[in-house]
Structure 1
Amino acid sequence: MDRTVAIVADRVGWEERRLIDSAADFGLRIEWVNDESLGLGDAESASLSGYDAVLIRSRSYTRGGLIATVAESARIPTLNTASAIHACENKLTLRAQLRAADVPVPDYRLALSRRDFEKALTELPPPVVLKPVFGGMGKRVTLLRDADTAHSVYDYVEDLGHGFEQASLVEPYLAGGSSLRCFVVGRELVAIAEFRSAGTDWRSNAALGNRNRAVDLDPAVQKIVDGVLDVLGEGIFGIDLFETPDGHVVNEVNHAPAFRAVASATGVDIAAAISRYLQEEAG
């Protein structure tokens, strides 16, 4: 008998269509459930009842973890877990947990105020990167090349952001313009692609449409990925690494990763890998 899986998301994009199309080969039926119309809170989670598993693919950095929390309370197998999503959506929480587990991360300072920010600049002199604690897809990540520019930019953080949005990380600028996206399904590292900044944009985020290519597995990279999974547990993740003179460090982990660019660069059928994993979890 086919198992039914809900993809909880705010829209059906390329990745969701690929998952829906590939599901039948693994005895699954995948249905889209709009994350804006669930009305969760009752003990039975009626809008998610009847599903054998729930796959959270909300782009929102708040909805995903909240929905996963309620789904898990209704004893529905949920990917990713609420604890993993909450860690991924909060860059500070993730950095702190990984550092405590001896997984390499960039040096950073938390800036919650102008005083915090000024102190960070004395300890980590420009050029530095200022990024929101909550957010993704390279949005509001700013390269600050000198102190004068840094203070002017922080004016906007203070004046235009609410307290939730003002929470920021300051970290050294790791020059090079490239990053590795390690795509994990379960505990398996199924694909690795390098993303390199294109044109005048210094960021190498996959969501920005930059150049990419497949790369071979490096045992040192595998060790870092294994360390991340030891902290978060198995699941479906896009783990982004930066290269430094001392080796790679974990920049961030995406709990609802896009995979079109990685699939294109590597030729790996990532949708099939995810569907196979969903089959195991829903069984």
Structure 2
Amino acid sequence: MKITILHDLIRWEEKALYQASLKKGLDVSLIDIKDEFFDVTKDYDSKFGDVALQRATSYYKGLHSAAIIESLGVKVINSSQVLMITGNKLFTTLKLKENNIATPRTIVAFSPEKAIEAFKELGEKAVIKPVLGSWGRMVALLDSYYSAKAVFEEREYMEPIYQVYYLQEFVKRPPRDIRAFVVGDQVIAAIYRHQPSGDFRTNTALGGKAENCPVTKEIEDLAIKAAKAIGNGVYGVDMMETEKGIVVHEVNGTVEFKNSVSVTGVDIPAKIIDFAIEVAKR
């Protein structure tokens, strides 16, 4: 069986997936999509193997290259449809709502004036996020009218995607959130992500600390439900603990796991490769 790992940057995760593939006796190759061109009028290309893992950090490059490779008859994890949804926070929220999955109250506006009204509707304390983006970049806590007004006005001079004002209520929670790792129909591990001092964001890329989180029935059921709402694949389902229960605020379709392997003791790369083998055989 041949497996390809598609990337635009080789991180610890891509190296670990490569080594896990070798240990299982697979024919595996790393393909940098920046070094390729794709003839979209062609049929099957054996270069991309029986199954491909899409690991590109770029939303646009990952989404479009996945769609092209699928058109060649190759199975891609995660699929272009999944990547389109998980790479866009608004699309993810709509899927969660459609499937009755608890998620923070979210309001979207398309002008600074209406964004201010949305901010007031949320009690003048809210979190603004770019609909596209990862690692907590450009996520801001708005806790006053003047700070919100300044952020909204500044976004009008940025790229058009930042003029989609995606606002979520500020959720009262412990100084941490939960990331559950879903592979296929199983929750294989979970971590707490503790926010660093002086920041409300829990992203490990910003200094958040990972700690093993026991997978309770509530976490397992909610993570599986969120994953199924989007489609079969590999996910990091992000959750917050609230007074009314756990809510899902994001679902990651190109999830990182370097810090999670060490704290959970779970061989996440091996689990992903096992899943890829199953998908290839279907």
After TM superposition, is the score higher than 0.5?
yes
CA contact (8 A) 2:85 2:91 kept: yes
Q: Unpaired segments of 5 or more residues in structure 1?
A: none
Aligned counterpart, 1:277: 275
Deviations 1:9-43 (A, max 9, x none): 11111011111111122221321111223222423
Aligned counterpart, 1:105: 103
Deviation at 1:91, TM superposition (A): 0.8
Task: Determine what percentage of the aligned residue pairs are the same residue.
Answer: 27
Q: Residue 143 of structure 1: SS of its match in structure 2?
A: strand
The aligned runs of 1:162-177 (5 Å cut-off) are 162-175=159-172, 176-177=174-175
Residue identity in the other structure for 2:4: A
Counterpart CA distance in 2 for 1:237 and 1:167 is 25
Q: Residue 40 of structure 2: SS of its match in structure 1?
A: coil
Deviation at 1:143, TM superposition (A): 0.6
User: Measured at CA, do residues 165 and 35 of structure 1 come closer, stay the same or move farther in structure 2, by a change above 3 Å?
Assistant: farther
Deviation at 1:277, TM superposition (A): 1.3
Identify the range of structure 1 (76-85 vs 206-215) with the bigger mean alpha-carbon deviation: 206-215
Aligned counterpart, 1:181: 179
Aligned counterpart, 1:18: 16
Deviations 1:226-279 (A, max 9, x none): 211221122111111111111111111111110011112111111111121122
Residue identity in the other structure for 1:266: T
The aligned runs of 1:1-283 (5 Å cut-off) are 3-44=1-42, 49-159=47-157, 161-175=158-172, 176-283=174-281
Deviations 1:56-94 (A, max 9, x none): 001112221211111111110110111111000111111
TM-score of the two chains, using structure 1 as the length reference: 0.94
TM-score of the two chains, using structure 2 as the length reference: 0.94
Counterpart CA distance in 2 for 1:41 and 1:146 is 51
Residue identity in the other structure for 2:18: I
Counterpart CA distance in 2 for 1:48 and 1:112 is 44
Residue identity in the other structure for 1:255: G
Identify the range of structure 1 (86-95 vs 230-239) with the bigger mean alpha-carbon deviation: 230-239
User: Measured at CA, do residues 202 and 7 of structure 1 come closer, stay the same or move farther in structure 2, by a change above 3 Å?
Assistant: same
Q: Unpaired segments of 5 or more residues in structure 2?
A: none
Q: Residue 104 of structure 1: SS of its match in structure 2?
A: coil
